[in-house]
Amino acid sequence: MYFLGGLRKRIPILFSDVWLSYGEPDASDKMHYYVRTQQDRRNPYLRCSSRFINPVEDVTVDWNEPLEGQGIGGLLARETIAEGK
């Protein structure tokens, strides 16, 4: 356990983006997946280098639609376009 605790303090120093991913069911028990990109009281080590990403982003993939532009890849693509890269 010490090893994991030590990494919790070192990872933010090594990386410019540290996100938390999680899933929550909606009213019909369908899972929705999110990434949190901004610090809060329970997650002080989160950080995001882009100002174009919201503190909480929905990255749920709809398997009935084309996969391009969905999920975390879609989020990163939108960020890249917004930053003009």
Give me the DSSP letters along the chain. Answer: -HHHHHHHHHHHHH-S-B-EEEEEE-TTS-EEEEEE-S--SS-TT-B-S-TTS-SEEE----TTS-STT-HHHHHHHHHHHHHT-
Average pLDDT over the chain, rounded to whole? Answer: 85
- Regarding pTM above 0.85, the answer is no
Check residue 12 and give its pLDDT.
63
Task: Compute the average pLDDT of residues 48-69.
Answer: 92
Q: Where are the domains of the chain?
A: 13-83
Share of the chain above pLDDT 70, in %: 86
